[in-house]
Structure 1
Amino acid sequence: MNNKIGYINFCIGKFAERFRMTRLMAYHYLSAYKGLEFLDECYEAEHLLSAEDAVMDLRKVCRNNGGTI
C-alpha cells in the first residue's frame, strides 16, 4: 500500500510537470476525471511503465472521462 501511495504521488507530480500546472491543480484534475482511480486500480501494470507512458495513459483516461488536457 505504501508503494502505491508513493507511486500515485509521483505520477501526480509528473503529470503536473508535463502539463505545466501545480501539483494541486494536477491532483484536482486527475481526481475529477478518474485518473487517480485508474492509477489505484491499475497500479500493478502501470508502475512497470516509464513515467512518460504513465502520464500519457493518465491523459487518455482523463480525456475518456471528459477531461480536456
Structure 2
Amino acid sequence: MDKDQQNRITYTVYCINAFAERYRLTAKQAFAYLDRFGGMAFLEDCYEAEHQLSIIDAVNDLTQVCRNQGGKL
C-alpha cells in the first residue's frame, strides 16, 4: 500500500469517527449510514479537496451530501 492510499484510509476513518461522534452513533452505524446515502463515495471522489478542510467542514459536507440523497440526520 502506498502513502497516498494510507492517507486516504486514515482520513476516511477519521471522518467516519467524527461523523459518529457528532450524531452519537457507533462507527459501524456511521459507516452504514454514510455508505447508504453517498457519503463514502463523496469522501472517495472529493478527497483532494475535502482533506484540506477542517474536520468540522468535512462532517458538515457529509451531512449535506447524505441529506441530498434522502438521509435524515
TM-score (norm 2): 0.93
1:22 matched residue in structure 2: 26
Deviations 1:6-31 (A, max 9, x none): 10010000000001110000000000
Specify every segment of 5 or more residues in structure 2 that has no aligned partner in the other structure, as ranges: none
Q: Distance in 2 between matches of 1:53 and 1:19?
A: 15
2:59 matched residue in structure 1: 55
Q: Distance in 2 between matches of 1:26 and 1:38?
A: 14
* Higher Cα Rg, which structure: 2
Q: Distance in 1 between matches of 2:62 and 2:18?
A: 11
Amino acid at match of 1:34: G
Structure 1 residue 4 corresponds to structure 2 residue 11: no
1:35 matched residue in structure 2: 39
Deviations 1:3-60 (A, max 9, x none): 0011001000000000111000000000000100000000000000001000000000
